Amino acid sequence: MASQHDDNAHARVYGCKECDRVQEILDGVSPVLTKTAIASVNCNEEPMVCDDSKVFTVSTLKFTTGNNELTTYKESLDASSVVKYIERQSGSPVVDLTGKNHLDFARSTRVAVVAFFGSDCPQERETFNAVAERWRAQCSFGSVDGLEQDSKGPSIAVYTQEEEGPVYYHGPFTVADVEAFLRGATQPLIREFDPIVHEEVTKDEKPLVEFNVPWCQYCTDLHVQMNELGSKYEQLGLSDKVALANINVDANDVPIEIDSYPSIRLYRAGSNEIVSFHGNLTQMLTLEQLDTFASQSGSHGVSVFNQNKAHDEL
């Protein structure tokens, strides 16, 4: 592993067939990140290390500031993105922005959180900075001196690559309230399944899961439809009834038998029953077909196209 340097960042890569490419990237950024220790672990040789670090797919990059907590790197896997990410962890948690450049900042990262403050908001700034320090490994934080247009008080906007527009927050500026907002606003419409996510989601939510493989073009195209359906669930406040998820069968241990791709399964609320989709996959599934399957097969019966017939069977 990497040697520990107090208050300095450490990036870790776990070995696989793509290790050479990842290692070249890390070797290239190493001269720039002089205060960062970089190491690699071969999961074939050190399986316990990878298991303890909750590595389910390879290659995987993990980051820590020496606090015994590992955060999975989810930004683009190129030299520029890696450098920006590590520098973000080492410097101030909040970047000073302007009304003109905050959109460029938002587009430059996977998840950007931008706060808008007036001149009389010292307490709100302090709260935002505290949240940014705790969440800096997951999001990029910035602040603008000046209230947002048509806003009468401080606000927060969350920009993600999945959504066309931001999600806004105008509520109380306490650490608990802001963090609760971020947990909801930064949750991807389609979750990436791994063994831990599988256990959490199937226990607390009942997901519609697409089991796929990287070489399946239909799977890639279906992801677009699933993402749009997830957006509609979110807009109608139905995300707590039906969660969407996908799992790469090539890279993960799958808890059920999969014999074709894509394979779509729905985990029913209130039971351990798993319902398989048996429709026609010769043509791309429509939103209506996916929604009908989730509505008719699920315990909650929610539908984005027929709200009048939605029911809530607990």
Structural domains of the chain sorted by starting position, each given as residue range(s) with its CATH number in brackets: 10-88 (3.40.30.10), 93-185 (3.40.30.10), 190-309 (3.40.30.10)
Q: Is the pLDDT of residue 163 over 80?
A: no
What string of DSSP letters covers 54-104?
T--SSSEEEEE-SSS--EE--S-SSHHHHHHHHHHHHS-SEEEE-TTTHHH
Mean pLDDT of 112-136: 93
Q: Is the pLDDT of residue 139 over 60?
A: yes
Mean pLDDT of 124-133: 95
Average pLDDT score, the chain: 80
Q: How does residue 72 score in pLDDT terms, banded at 50, 70 and 90?
A: confident
Q: Is the pLDDT of residue 157 over 90?
A: yes
Q: Which residues of 182-219 are buried (b: 16+ CB within 10 A; e: fewer)?
A: beebbebbbbebbeebbeebbeebbbbbbbbeeeeeeb
Please tell me what DSSP assigns to residue 301.
Answer: -
Q: Is the pLDDT of residue 206 over 80?
A: no
User: What's the pLDDT score for residue 309?
Assistant: 47
CA distance 177 to 213: 38
Mean pLDDT of 194-200: 58
Q: Which residue has the higher pLDDT, 277 or 44?
A: 277
Among 1-5, 37-41, 194-198, which stretch is predicted with the lowest mean pLDDT?
Answer: 1-5
Per-residue pLDDT tens for 252-284? 667 677 878 888 988 876 666 888 898 888 889
- Considering the entire predicted model, what is its pTM? 0.60
Q: Which residue has the higher pLDDT, 213 or 293?
A: 293
User: What's the pLDDT score for residue 24?
Assistant: 87
Task: Quote the percentage of the chain above a pLDDT of 70.
Answer: 81
Q: Which residues of 19-46 are buried (b: 16+ CB within 10 A; e: fewer)?
A: beebeebbeebeeebeebbbebbebeee
